[in-house]
Amino acid sequence: MLEALIRTKNSPCSDKRAGDIICVKLKEFADWGAMEKRVHMVLDWQDEDLESTMTANLQETKVAPIVVTPYKELEHCSIFNEEGDKIFDGEVTKTRSKKYFNIESGVQAEKSESEILQEFEDNKIFAINESRKEKPGPQIGDEVPVSNNEQYLEYLQSLKENLSKYNIITEIIDGKLVRV
């Protein structure tokens, strides 16, 4: 028997929807944290193929397997605009969870091909829109300007601001960016 962690809410990110299977564990080894139980739904999950694979993995490695997003499918996409210019090139989520838990009806379900294609089209549009967003200031990985101290401190300040968008709190200490 398997136990699954189920997403209960949609996310502003088009990639995550209520009912998605976040993680699956063998029931006898399932131990979920308080935060996981409070934010998501935990329930028994039926998937003989996945259970068989996980049981074989357990016997081989002697470590209880954890499968994250077991039904997620990615596809590489090169997307071009009307002029033939490449506007996106990368992985796009075709479906986050082909098998999912229908929260409204309270049953396991599987998406139809048309539902998967619609989700894929929505995710491609999201990927295009994300790639078009203007990036304010230097980004992590950009070449560091070192022509003078003031310019370097401005660079660190912009990195600090960008990291704060991801709830990563930093301070500039002795000319270095330090996580606090």
For the chain, how many structural domains are there in total? 2
Please say whether the beta carbons of 161 and 179 come within 8 A.
no
Shared domain check, 20 and 78: yes
Most confident of 19-33, 125-139, 164-178: 19-33
Closest CA to 156 of 104, 142, 115, 36: 142
Is residue 86 domain-shared with residue 118, that is, in the same domain?
yes
Q: How many CB atoms lie within 10 A of CB 30?
A: 19
pLDDT in tens, 127-168: 888 877 755 555 555 655 555 667 778 888 888 888 888 888
Same domain, 99 and 58: yes
Per-residue pLDDT tens digits for 31-63: 998 888 889 999 999 999 999 999 999 999 999
Indicate if 33 and 117 belong to the same structural domain. Answer: yes
**Strand-strand pairing, 170-173 and 66-68:** unpaired
Instruction: Tell me the pTM.
Output: 0.66
Cβ(132)–Cβ(37) below 8 Å: no
Q: Which two tokens stand for residue 123?
A: 């995710």
**Structural domain containing residue 176:** 136-180
Instruction: Please check whether residues 168 and 126 belong to one and the same domain.
Output: no
Same domain as 49, residue 11: yes
Compute the distance between CA of residue 25 and CA of residue 30 in angstroms, rounded to an integer.
5
Token pair belonging to 99 = 């098998």
